[in-house]
Structure 1
Amino acid sequence: MKQFFKFVLATFVGIILSAIIIILVIMGMIAAASGDKSVQVDANSILHISIKYPIAERTANNPLANLSFLGLDGDKSIGLKDILANIKKAKTDDNIKGIFLDESYMLSGQATTEEIRNALIDFKKSGKFIVAYAEVYTKGFYYLASVADKVYINPRGIFEFDGFSSQITFLKGAMDKLGIEAQVIKVGTFKSAVEPLVLTKMSDANRLQVTSYLGSLYDHFLTGIGKSRGVNKDSLFNYANEMRIQQPEDALKYKLVDGLKYKDELIDELKHRLNVKAKDDINSVEISDYAKSDDDNDKEVSSNRIAVVYASGDIASGDGDDNSIGSETISKALRKVRLDKKVKAVVLRVNSPGGSSLASDVIWREVMLTHKVKPIIVSMGDYAASGGYYISCAADSIFAQPNTITGSIGIFAVLPNMQKLFNDKLGVTFDGVKTGQYADLGNTSRPLTLAERAILQNEINRGYDDFTKAVANGRHKTQAYINSIGQGRVWTGAQAIQNGLVDRLGNIDDAIASAAKKAKIKDYKLIAYPEQKSVLNKLSESVSVQMKTKILKSELGENYGVYEQIKNVTAMMRTPLARMEYDVVVK
């Protein structure tokens, strides 16, 4: 027995010592990674931009981003805020002579690409060069690269230029096989988020709206490229429609690229532009390493503040994180800036497809209260739809990009009926007692009764009435008019300008300038909310999430994507939602 306790004690001590060593190693890594991240930019350098990751609104507060530990890779991404700031800084940095746009995947939405593209257009006003190169030009990266002075492609490369498409995955057939019925309660002819659960193809209404906003996005895409490349928009449409560009030589023939080059030839051109000898290396700095821009506003000693509140991701009750909007977190941030006398105006940066209607209403209330005491301007990112629009509509004014996805004013709920799954597939039955007729309302082991469905429909109707009333009051329209452009219909920013859901086209800087003008201030300092979590909190969350993801991916393999989709569908079956149809993926 003594030997047993000695063994247990030795094991326990070993675990403690190992934990201490791991903690010390992590603290050392944090200390090393948390040092001055600025880099020395040599004279006669180029800024190298290669974006192969989804772009968040803000760079994560993660000093271990470029390190790997225990088999977990750091998040090496840089947020949109810092990308734009670094391009702006490079414009006036005498050490930066130009920008090299390298092959990028552009995994984020089109409005994010638009903001980066506009920053590059502004950069060109400095007279410095931009050169773009890729072995594979996706439509997203080519849209970005088309602003470059010179666009090159590998002679054996791939050039995608065949129009836009958007595809929806329908799950009804699979659910029928499983014996699961999706019981849908909704308001809105165009509120098609539930269609994958109840149909096997798009409804006529959904096809109409997708055709409309996809056409708007494509028109803006072609217009931008045509202006940058000096090619007629109708010609570009025909090139894509007739699939004329199949080889790199075709892209050159139709003036969409300036030359076919291998990487070594591209490097030679960059050396020539920089007057660097053939035997010498090019001085370059990565966009993620480039010293963060010191905003002119940050140099001001004025006590005036403009608060930028970032609301990014799905909307849910409780606390959120960098990738989700928690009603409690955003509400606290809005209350804090509303009560802070130094804060003269607020910019609410919204990048969300929506989520919980209740959580959206909680945030809307704080926006409305803020509007009563100081200017609050909304800047829309890739999405500000459904709940994302709900939390925006009470602002003084709304800015969006032409290719922002917005609108989708509608409410829905889904309650699964799994009676056939339990009874017929699994042989499981249920029985019980209740003290009230509706005590088990929401029971998934049986179908809804007509009376129960009427109760739920009344709740959804009330939510839609609240939603349209809030929009009508915020946009100074009649509720009948909002209902006519609502019904769950999705619009682009360009379309929303026409129907009154958006005030102006512009980026976050335009929204900040508008906020300052509205507050009648010229000198101010920008402050960002919510405050990002501490390094240790971020580390523990990152480790747990990555470990979980790695385990699931290793077990499920190629079926991991199906798991993600089922998880999202399950989430829809919990509470009334103000969420757009699905994440719009344009290919």
Structure 2
Amino acid sequence: MKQFFLTVAGVFVGLLLFVVGVPFLLVVMAAGAARPAPIPAHAVLQLDLRGGLPDQDPKSPFAAFSGGGAGSVMSIIDTLRRAEKDDKVAAVLVRLPEGGVAPAAADELRLAFKHFRETGKKPIYAHSQGLYPSGMITSTYMLGASSDELWMQPDSSFQAVGVSSESMFFKRFFDKYGVKADYEQRYEYKNAVNPYLYSDYTPAHRESTLSWMGSVYRSALTSAAADRKRDPAQLIRTLEAGPYSAQEAQAKGLIDKVGQVAEIEAYALDKAGKGAKMIDFDDYAARSKPPAVKTGPAIAVIGAEGAIVTGAGGGGSPFSGDSNVYSDDVAKAFKAAADDKDVKAIVFRVSSPGGSDTASEQILAAMKSAKAAGKPVVVSMGTYAASGGYWISSQANSIVAEPSTLTGSIGVYGGKFALGDALARFGVDTKDLHVGGDYSEAFGSAQGFSPDQRAKFAGWMDRIYAGFVSRVAEGRKLPVARVREIAKGRVWTGEQAKQLGLVDELGGFYQAIDKAKALAKLDGDVRLKRVDGAKSPFEAFEKFLGVSETSARTLAAAAWVLGDPRSQAILDEMAKARLRAAPGGAAVLADTPVR
């Protein structure tokens, strides 16, 4: 019955769209094609980073209608490469966020800013309305310092004094209410579940966290000092003596000028030339896209951002910007790239904290198949490529990471919460029944593991950890004993990982492209071919709603043409309901959440 009504609804909307919507859409499209908005002869692109910044664009184009910030790191660096060659673009004005930019994202954007300034011979101006102590705020300052001029709003706060991270520990709370966190870790640095097991940082947890935080801090301020032509030690002393007002920061040489947003806009336009206009960065990105080149040698670009899970995407709302790395989709993308005669090498962009070990193994196997087909694979690491994110990267021909990428975390954890005692205090009794071996009830929530269940579960964990270590040893050509020594679940920055042999080079996406070209023996400009194994947006609609692809297309177009945000909200809620209703199960996760 549900299927019948959904199909009828799809057909009805399709008819409505055909009679009313399609003519309207055609008129709008024709009008837009007849009168394309020209890019002015002197344009200043305004890039607003205050709305959040994923590493990669969402796979569904419909996700753009849900709003967002300045696109993604990848779209920004791609657009800047075009803008630096565009005679109509005179400069870029960057609006910095008040909080922290993810360190590796800041590294990638800094490289793009420097390339724009040096290759395009055009200025970048940055403006801040305040820098506040929120985690990785020094990375935001580093990004601002890479501009030609860094401005701040008068009397705003300059509080880029360090890097911070905060964890909540729930052990005493759990003890009070009878909750038992029953987990296994491989090994002491695999600290994602430590807040459930302890009341404070363990020595290993503290050591690991302070190590990568210190690396990120030193890397950011060394870069900022180089860009502002300051002695690093002196810059660090000045910063740590803060906070300051904008005027004090200017007096100490931490920024260049103090002024309102309107003042720096007028300044940039005046420098750009007579008749210069301010253009939104996203608008320019959409207008300036060159026609796709479909012939000749190519480097395939495969993206992976988010948690690594088994299966294929397209089951949630096509309007949602949420992202996962679906193993079926990525495996299909590698196969498509391997089968494409024009593709000479593959760049695999990874920004993932990890996920399922089995999904990670499926992706790694697909990468190995592509390599066996003669296609070199270079991994470009984004914000993080940790645990499962490192698993899927470990056997690439070469790995390129940003200095502040969080990677490694070669380890595994898994377990459950035993809630029986806690619920009993409220009159709720949980009783297990099972048929077959005792291990069938190992993941019941009534009580913790029995000794036999724990032994079997620990053996499972050991096998997964040993497999992880062996894959890293094989891919990185390191002795197993050496990998075990530097693994244990420890998170490293890209800078640290290079010293340990887990990463080959420090750099960004275009450095990975250069490496792929070298491995494939390609010269000059080479086209980049985005390869995505995911379902089309309309196939995603079909799976999500359970209606035909034709009906899905009409629903999508109707939501867009009629501009009703309620339809998108309903679709999102339906997706969440489906996820809540999905059958669950115990799984060993190969990930470490990193901040």
TM-score range, shorter chain: 0.7 to 0.9
**Is the Cα–Cα contact under 8 Å of residues 53 and 106 in structure 1 kept in the other structure?**
no
Q: Shift in Å at residue 137 of structure 1?
A: 3.2
Q: Name 1:128's counterpart in structure 2.
A: 122
Q: Name 1:471's counterpart in structure 2.
A: 472
Q: Shift in Å at residue 486 of structure 1?
A: 0.2
Q: Name 1:239's counterpart in structure 2.
A: 238
SS at match of 1:100: strand
1:112 counterpart = 2:91 = no
1:318 counterpart = 2:329 = no
Greater alpha carbon shift after TM alignment, 103-112 vs 318-327: 103-112
Report the AA paired with residue 103 of structure 2: Q
CA-to-aligned-CA distance 1:413-463 (integer Å, 9 cap, x gap): 022211112323333242546343434232221221111100000000000
Q: Shift in Å at residue 53 of structure 1?
A: 2.8
1:284 counterpart = 2:278 = yes
Greater alpha carbon shift after TM alignment, 505-514 vs 74-83: 74-83
Gaps of 5+ in 2: 1-6, 315-321, 545-555, 557-565
SS at match of 1:471: helix
Report the AA paired with residue 479 of structure 1: V
**Is the Cα–Cα contact under 8 Å of residues 311 and 326 in structure 2 kept in the other structure?**
yes
CA-to-aligned-CA distance 1:530-580 (integer Å, 9 cap, x gap): 156544467797978844878999xxxxxxxxxx9xx9xx99983111102
How many Å separate the matches in 2 of 1:15 and 1:337? 35
Q: Name 2:559's counterpart in structure 1.
A: none
**Is the Cα–Cα contact under 8 Å of residues 335 and 366 in structure 1 kept in the other structure?**
yes
Q: Name 2:531's counterpart in structure 1.
A: 529
TM-score w.r.t. length of structure 1: 0.84
CA-to-aligned-CA distance 1:224-282 (integer Å, 9 cap, x gap): 11111122211222123222x32112111110111221334324422431344xxxx75
Aligned 1:179-218 pairs, distance under 5 A: 179-218=178-217
Gaps of 5+ in 1: 1-11, 68-72, 554-563
RMSD of aligned alpha carbons: 3.4
Equivalent position to 2:258, from 236, 257, 260? 260
TM-score w.r.t. length of structure 2: 0.83
How many Å separate the matches in 1 of 2:371 and 2:353? 23
Aligned 1:133-172 pairs, distance under 5 A: 133-137=127-131, 139=137, 140-172=139-171
Report the AA paired with residue 92 of structure 1: K
CA-to-aligned-CA distance 1:12-57 (integer Å, 9 cap, x gap): 9999867854797776787658976974210111111112233234
SS at match of 1:497: helix
SS at match of 2:155: strand
SS at match of 1:438: helix
Q: Shift in Å at residue 394 of structure 1?
A: 0.8
**Is the Cα–Cα contact under 8 Å of residues 419 and 446 in structure 2 kept in the other structure?**
yes
Report the AA paired with residue 236 of structure 2: F
**Is the Cα–Cα contact under 8 Å of residues 413 and 572 in structure 1 kept in the other structure?**
no
The count of corresponding residues between Structure 1 and Structure 2 is 547
**Is the Cα–Cα contact under 8 Å of residues 313 and 535 in structure 2 kept in the other structure?**
no
Q: Describe the shift of the 1:427–1:82 C-alpha distance in structure 2 as closer, same or farther (beyond 3 A).
A: closer
CA-to-aligned-CA distance 1:386-414 (integer Å, 9 cap, x gap): 00000111111100000100000001102
**Is the Cα–Cα contact under 8 Å of residues 131 and 148 in structure 1 kept in the other structure?**
yes
**Is the Cα–Cα contact under 8 Å of residues 53 and 107 in structure 1 kept in the other structure?**
no
SS at match of 1:155: coil
CA-to-aligned-CA distance 1:56-91 (integer Å, 9 cap, x gap): 343336666675xxxxx4456523222112111221
Report the AA paired with residue 459 of structure 2: N
Equivalent position to 1:576, from 565, 576, 588? 588
Q: Describe the shift of the 1:481–1:50 C-alpha distance in structure 2 as closer, same or farther (beyond 3 A).
A: same
SS at match of 2:346: strand
**Is the Cα–Cα contact under 8 Å of residues 309 and 348 in structure 1 kept in the other structure?**
yes
How many Å separate the matches in 2 of 1:263 and 1:524? 39
How many Å separate the matches in 1 of 2:186 and 2:237? 39
Greater alpha carbon shift after TM alignment, 367-376 vs 499-508: 367-376
Q: Name 1:332's counterpart in structure 2.
A: 332
**Is the Cα–Cα contact under 8 Å of residues 38 and 289 in structure 1 kept in the other structure?**
no
SS at match of 2:365: helix
Identity rate, percent: 28
